[in-house]
Amino acid sequence: MQGRRCILPGASLAFVYACDPEDSLLLLGWEGHETRVSVPLRLPFAPESYCRDPLVWVAPDCLPPGTAHQRRVWHALTRIPVGETRTYGQIARAIGSSPRAVGQACRANPWPLLIPCHRVLPAGAAPDRGSAGGYAGQVAGPLVGAKQALLRHEADRKTEINGNFLPKGE
């Protein structure tokens, strides 16, 4: 099994994954919080490429095993475009659920980055001021920092594409 790590700018943890010799994904997650993949899956994009440019993100062709509710939530998350966010309440209304149940499904998401639960925020969150809510069941610590880094990374690139930002020297 070949393991790989990629560092997202501003995150204190590396995103790690491992594939078998046929390039089927076996393991993925944030360093120290990896999860085995229990269904055959080919990566829909290279995590290293995402760390350079989040616009390469595409939704996976399948969802991880879970309850019918979790899978409805995870499918809804894959519909959130890169650089955009939704609240738990918005997702809940869209699928006929409750915000708390959506949060529980986000917490149970075994495929971080592929199923973008980092794009879901509590009502009134202000990611630009360091308030983005919990991530992967934690409300403080390096995983929450990873969520904030993901949101910044995606928002910065979206702003750059919309012509509102030019890197220094251009």
Per-residue HEC secondary structure of the chain comes to CEEEEEECCCCCCEEEEEECCCCEEEEEEECCCCEECCCCCECCCCHHHHHHCHHHCCCCCCCCCCCHHHHHHHHHHCCCCCCCCEEHHHHHHHHCCCHHHHHHHHHCCCCCCCCCHHHEECCCCEHHHCECCCECCECCCHHHHHHHHHHHHHHHHHHHHCCCCCCCCC
Quote the Cα angle for 56-60-65, to 5°.
Answer: 150
- Residues identified as active-site: 117
Shortest CA distance to 78 belongs to which of 40, 120, 48? 120
Token pair, residue 21, equals 């010799």
